[in-house]
Structure 1
Amino acid sequence: MRTSAARERKTEQSHDQVGARMRQFRTERGLTLRGLAARAGLSIGFLSQVERGVSSIGLTALNSVAAALDRPVAEFFADGDATTSDGAAAVLPSHFTLTRAESGATEYVSGQVTYRMLSDRGPNLVLEPMVVHIAPGGRREEAYAHAGEEFAYVVTGELLYEVDGVEHRLRPGDSVHLRSTVPHNMYNDTDQVTTVVSVVTPRLF
């Protein structure tokens, strides 16, 4: 398992890598920041900060950017930012997956946030379950609305969760469940890593 120190080192580097990939894919498509912002439903200023490595971007917002650029989300992460098990996955029916603890899980790091995917891909499944580790500090991501629903349950630490302009402080055992079409964001304003179990729709990968 990745140590907390290794996760912190990876976090320090990752938002620069994601931003660089975003700029590369945008210029390859011949899009301006304004054009990408219009397609992705995000502000020009925020996307500019992400490209310059000043701000990180959450997976749901990155999913909109990826769709606007016609790229898979995984391509925004530099080699090594996604770690997977070496074990071969069993062939299972399309209506379910079975993910064993010993087989490991894929992790994606974006800025202060590490997403540990809890489920293998399934063609007929719509939920995206994750364990999310949110390091303290960094710039706060702008509130963002998108299709689907999301659920977050705080396991350790504290989380400031904004929904439709109202801030809610979540502590261990607290949870929030919302339609993602309502603008929302989350931020760790403490000095400790916060761990959250999150489920979102639609699937991001």
Structure 2
Amino acid sequence: MTEPLEDASAVQVGPRIREFRKQRGLTLRSLAARSGLSIGFLSQVERGISSIGLTALGSVATALGHSVADFFDAPAAPGAPDPVVVPMPRHFTLTRGENAAVQYVSGQQTYRMLSDRGAGLVLEPMVVHIAPGGRREVAYGHAGEEFAYVISGELLYEVDGVEHRLHPGDSVHLRSSVPHSMYNDTSEVTTVVSVVTPRLF
């Protein structure tokens, strides 16, 4: 069984949302209207009571004028040099298994990115480890498309108000504009291969 990785970012997403929201002088009501998420849910995320999925965080990031990565990355040290940006080919990327994968933790979910950044590429492939428990996310629709394939464990996937229990080998593919959410209501970690559009990072 693969356990989600512990990471400081697991507890930093909510406070970072609050920080960026206040920097822009927005109330929770204003952020809710801009992101399409409920005031109550955003309040719980900011206080660390609920976790937020990457796609919902993408809507919050857009509403606040930030990238998703800004909610995880530590601020650069004063005087630190800018990172070197290597131009990527527009038509492909090649990611070796031995390379250190970028990972993000948000509440009960650990996201391991499966592809290096590539200019002009729109798919965001990742492995998601979903720990049991936690608060269930509110079903939410957003732009794009997504696919999830269960590797191990079980996943309760709600699509347009209907719950579907997914087992290893099961998958779901949907237009992301349909309200949806996923939840692990078992006692074991669930591992899913997920591909979403547009790219979040």
Q: TM-score, normalised by structure 2?
A: 0.90
Aligned to 1:20: 15
Aligned to 2:195: 199
Q: How many Å apart are 1:93 and its aligned residue?
A: 2.0
Deviations 1:6-56 (A, max 9, x none): 72x43xx64431000000000000000000000001000000000000000
Aligned to 2:53: 58
Q: How many Å apart are 1:104 and its aligned residue?
A: 1.9
- AA aligned to 1:133 is H
SS of the equivalent of 1:142 reads coil
Aligned positions, number: 192
Of Structure 1 and Structure 2, the greater helix share is in 1
Give the Cα–Cα distance (whole angstroms) in 2 for the partners of residues 34 and 182 of structure 1.
Answer: 23
Aligned in 2, Cα 1:90/1:72: closer, same or farther, shift over 3 Å?
Answer: closer
Aligned in 2, Cα 1:69/1:89: closer, same or farther, shift over 3 Å?
Answer: closer
Give the Cα–Cα distance (whole angstroms) in 1 for the partners of residues 63 and 192 of structure 2.
Answer: 28
Give the Cα–Cα distance (whole angstroms) in 2 for the partners of residues 79 and 134 of structure 1.
Answer: 24
Which of 103, 114, 120 is the matching residue for 1:118?
114
Cα RMSD of the aligned pairs, angstroms, is: 1.9
Aligned in 2, Cα 1:44/1:120: closer, same or farther, shift over 3 Å?
Answer: same
Q: Give the alignment of 1:163-202 within 5 angstroms.
A: 163-202=159-198
Aligned in 2, Cα 1:125/1:32: closer, same or farther, shift over 3 Å?
Answer: same
Unmatched 5+ stretches in structure 2? 76-83
Give the Cα–Cα distance (whole angstroms) in 2 for the partners of residues 14 and 140 of structure 1.
Answer: 19
Unmatched 5+ stretches in structure 1? 81-87
Give the Cα–Cα distance (whole angstroms) in 2 for the partners of residues 162 and 93 of structure 1.
Answer: 37
Deviations 1:67-102 (A, max 9, x none): 00001111111549xxxxxxx998652111111111
- AA aligned to 2:110 is T
Q: How many Å apart are 1:105 and its aligned residue?
A: 1.0
- AA aligned to 1:40 is S
Q: TM-score, normalised by structure 1?
A: 0.89
